[in-house]
Amino acid sequence: MTTFAKTDLRQQLSLYFVAGTMNCESPEAFERILLQAIKGGITAFQYREKGSNCLTGEERFQMAVRAKKLCGDHNVLFIVNDDIELMKSVDADGLHVGQSDGNLKVIRQETKGKILGVSAHTLAEAEDAVSLGAEYIGAGPIYQTSSKPDAKKPVGAELIKEFRSNGITVPLVGIGGISLEKAGAVIEAGADGAAVISAISCAKDPSVSSSEMFKIIMQAKRGL
């Protein structure tokens, strides 16, 4: 099993690729893109098999097993989106949930010993999530996104500044419409990382996009 020191979480969430097979042309393309993203330098991956055309049942389980193996072999954090049973059955590093994915108190109990991340769109949501034991927050959508049909209105990097100036000190990643050009601004606003779907899954070369985004994020973290 891969183990991650919780103190490293800020570093480990620097470039957080989020995807499922439905974000790619085919399940084979998904695996290829994930491997390219890993080679390019992603530090965390969230298996988000959600929405129309997503895999279910045994296919979903087998894909999660393979994705976890790819991540584990390369020291990439492996998080499962909104499926506690899948998280447990593949022994993922953690779970990520949205605001409507269930009772956070119950979810926290069910994820003991695992990393728990929660999406928040407002300060009140972030405060509640932290008080119930979220170890990191996904803040967004920062910019306009076409990857999530039910995404809320984009709020800009201001949301991250607002969280930071109001006592949210847990690791934070921005999500939603983050491109190579916009990743630096998200870090400069106070985030520890950027979570992306299309900037990597739709890239001509996911490996190149990942490594360029990783460089931009690391430079922004060093204040360059």
**C-beta pairs of 158-166 under 8 Å, 24+ apart in sequence:** 158/189, 159/121, 160/186, 160/189, 160/190, 160/191, 161/189, 161/190, 162/123, 163/120, 163/123, 163/126, 163/137, 163/139, 163/190, 164/189, 164/190, 166/123, 166/127
Check if 48 is active-site: yes
48, 68, 114, 182: the active-site residue: 48
Q: Which of residues 154-183 bind ligand 3NM (CB under 6 A)?
A: 175-178
Stretch that binds ligand 3NM, among 60-68, 129-137, 164-172, 192-200 (CB under 6 A): 192-200
# of chain residues touching ligand 3NM (CB under 6 A): 17
Check if 119 is active-site: yes
Q: What single-letter DSSP state applies at residue 7?
A: G
- Residue stretches of the annotated binding site for Mg(2+): 82, 101
- Residue stretches of the annotated binding site: 46-50, 81-82, 101, 119, 145-148, 177, 197-198
Q: Which of residues 82-121 bind ligand 3NM (CB under 6 A)?
A: 119
Residue 99 in tokens: 């605001």
68, 108, 148, 182: the active-site residue: 148
Residue 20: CB atoms within 10 Å: 24
Helices (H) and strands (E) in the chain, counts: 10, 8
Q: Which of residues 116-145 bind ligand 3NM (CB under 6 A)?
A: 119, 138, 140-141, 145
Site residues, ligand 3NM (CB under 6 A):
18, 119, 138, 140-141, 145, 147-148, 151, 175-178, 196-199
By annotation, the residues acting in catalysis are: 48, 119, 148
